[in-house]
Structure 1
Amino acid sequence: MRRTTWVIVVFMVVAAALSGCGEKSPDQIVNDLSKLTDRMKGYKSHGKMVIHSGTAPQEYDVEVWYKKPHFYRVSLKNTKKDVTQILLRNDEGVFVLTPHLEKSFRFQSDWPESGGGQVYLYQTLLKSIVDDSSRKFTRSEKEYQFDVQANYSQNKSMNRQRIRMDKDYIPQKVEVLNEEDQVLVEVTFDKFDANASFDKNAFDMERNMTGYAGKTVPTLSEKKKKEKEKEVKAVAPSWIPKGSRLADETTVETPDGKRVIMRYKGEKPFTLTQKRPEAVEASLQAYGKPLDLGYTMGVFLDMDGKRHLSWTYDGVDFELLGEMTESQMARIARSVFEQKDK
């Protein structure tokens, strides 16, 4: 009897030890992820973002710096055009910086909390996993994969996302899909430092405008202004609201150069303006918010229903004025990009 009891005790001890070495349950993993944001003091990540839109995929180098509680630096570099744009948040506000054009916009905003997050932000990925009670979870020998809802206010067609992490919860890859399960955006991470440290002025606006780590940012005024010598080749959006139509297109000579104005009529009338930017420094206080268009950051303003969206891409300044919703204006802007890169 004693021998039988001893055998049972040994069996229970061994079983308990084996279970302790086993795989974590999905609930345990989600519980770990929910605690990560609060414990996180800072991180640096780097990867490649591919936007599957238009006739050819567009590739961007994406670098993210985060320091608790609310310091962010997101660098988006178009690898084909060698143009970098920086989204910065510090104690002074939120900035959209375009160093090579010497342009900066400052917002009084709580981005990224108010913007629905971005696919390249680690906090956004953690939140989407934790918040989606209908999440699908699979595991392999080295990775966890989560299939969850996507909540990106700037692009409603981004419906779901697949997030892959290693077993230390380091992000590996994210794919954002539409309702037809087509991949719209993918980010592949190649670096992630979960215990990053930063210089004192790493999130300073002036330092990020003039260069970082000893690297000087070439500005438009320092170049031979080849882009400015070109004529503006106007691009019409490939998507417009139902019932809208192009009413007229005019080219206006201004002291700053030629400006192309497209006016659309219909239930949702709007005006699209395109021009070459001037090689002058511009630092403006914006009362709207930064809007992620995928391929660039836009500046969105809403004043008494009159909405204004401006952005710069491939050496051209765009301005969109109308009474549409934010998502409709963002969709028009993205469709201009798709046409421009054909």
Structure 2
Amino acid sequence: MRRITWVCVVLLSAIVFLAGCGEKTPEEIVSDLSKRSEKMESYKSKGTMTINSGTAPQEYKVEVWFKKPHFYRVSLTNTKKDVTQILLRNDEGVFVLTPHLEKSFRFQSDWPENSGQVYLYESLLNSIIDDSTRKVTPTEKQYQFEVAANYPQNQSLVSQQIWMDRKYNPQKVQVLNDEEKVMVEVQFDSFEADTSFDKDAFDMERNMTGFAGRSVPTLAKDKDQDKDQDEDQDKDKEQETAEEKPDNSLDVFTPDYIPEGYKAMNETTVETPDGPAVITRYQGEKPFTLTQRQPVAVEASAPVYGKPVDLGYTVGILLERDGKKHLSWTYEGTELELIGALPEEELLQVAESVYGQAEEK
């Protein structure tokens, strides 16, 4: 009898041990993700984001820094133009910085709490944790998740596939539309959890002037300093400043998307001290205008009453004045501004569709 009891105990222990060595259930995986989200103090990530919503794929280098409780630095670099924009959050507020144009805006905002971003690790974690209909597929080296897309600024994105390694580090994300076409893809090159930062890593001034002693090229130049530089360096900086555009030429873009029932009525070119400005008026139920001009330096001396919005390929500034929305952003060296009473979703769709061949003015 004792022998039989002993054998049963051994068999039961073996079964428990083998069960413990088996694959984790989806519930256990989600529990692990929840714990990691709560305990993670900081991280750094680097990757490449490809956007397929235009006439040709657009590629951007993305670097994200995060430090609890609410410090963020997101750097988006257009690989074709080598132009960088920085989305920054610190104790002073939320900043949208375009260093090479000397443009900076400051907001009183809780970004990114109310707007998920495909390149933010916590957005990916939350999309998995919050979706009760999620699908989890484990493989030998990674986990694949299929969940709903939760990006309020772009309602055309409906689902996403997320790949993580066995330590729950992100590897790749694909965001799809309702036709299951991949509209956005982020390929993570590196991810470092619980990392450290310099004391002023999230300081606005440091991010405007560059890191490691390398200044970011700006519109304004010190003539005396230019005299001390050789001709080759001077030419290089002039090319960076002008963004490879001759004189006061202006690249004018035509949106691929216009709301149904609207059409462009006329286009007017106005000469300004900073060069030409092109104004296109669209007629419909709620008329709107699109203005395109040379960028002008703007300093974040006081917070603006608006919010940063993610346009995929850049970050825009959305304000409301006198019952109209003002959405401004910079694309390939041209500053664009939409003004009208269109619903926010349609206004963003128009802005997001600015891709393709530009006409020089």
**When the two structures are superposed, what TM-score results if normalisation uses the length of structure 2?**
0.91
Show the counterpart of 2:299.
Answer: 282
Q: Gapped runs of 5+ residues in structure 1?
A: none
In 2, the alpha carbon distance for the partners of 1:215 and 1:117 equals 32
- Residue of structure 2 equivalent to 1:320: 338
Letter in 1 for 2:346: Q
Whether the 8 Å contact between 2:54 and 2:354 is mirrored in structure 1 is no
Shift of 1:54: 2.1
Spell out the pairing of 1:36-115 with structure 2 (5 A cutoff).
Answer: 36-114=36-114
1:170-319 alignment, distance < 5 Å: 170-222=169-221, 223-224=237-238, 225-226=241-242, 227=245, 229-278=247-296, 280=297, 282-283=299-300, 285-303=303-321, 305-319=323-337
> Identity percentage over the alignment?
63
User: Aligned AA for 1:36?
Assistant: R
Amino acid at match of 1:155: N
Other structure's SS at 2:196 match? coil
1:234 positional shift: 2.3
Find the aligned partners of 2:251 and 2:21 in 1 and give their Cα distance: 63
Contact 1:161 1:174 in 2 (8 A): yes
Instruction: Please give the per-residue CA displacement for 1:200-257, whole angstroms capped at 9, x wherever unaligned.
Output: 0000000000001222211233442543614223222121111111111100112222
| TM-score between the two structures when normalised by the length of structure 1 | 0.95
Q: CA–CA distance in 1 between the matches of 2:47 and 2:295?
A: 30
Q: Deviations over 1:253-285 (max 9, x none)?
A: 12222100001111131000001113x453353
Q: In structure 1, what is the equivalent of residue 27 of structure 2?
A: 27
Contact kept, 8 Å, 2:248 with 2:275, in 1: the verdict is no
| Residue identity in the other structure for 1:302 | E
Q: CA deviation at 1:128?
A: 0.4
TM-fit CA distance, 1:64: 0.3
Letter paired with 2:153: Q
Q: Which amino acid aligns with 2:150?
A: N
Cα offsets for 1:122-156 (capped at 9, x unmatched): 00000000110011111111111110001111111
**Counterpart in the other structure of 1:122:** 121
> In the aligned structure 2, how far is the partner of 1:315 from the partner of 1:31?
46
- Structure 2 residues without counterparts, runs of 5 or longer: 222-236
CA distance in 1, matches of 2:138, 2:37: 22
- 1:306 is displaced (CA, Å) by 0.9
Structure 1 residues 228 and 203, CA gap change in structure 2 (3 angstroms): farther
The one-letter code of the counterpart of 1:181 is: E
1:238, 1:339 within 8 Å by CA — same for their partners in 2? no
Residue type of the partner of 1:321? I
**How far apart, in 2, do the equivalents of 1:338 and 1:151 lie?**
27
RMSD of aligned residue pairs (Cα, Å) = 1.5
Aligned pairs, how many?
A: 339
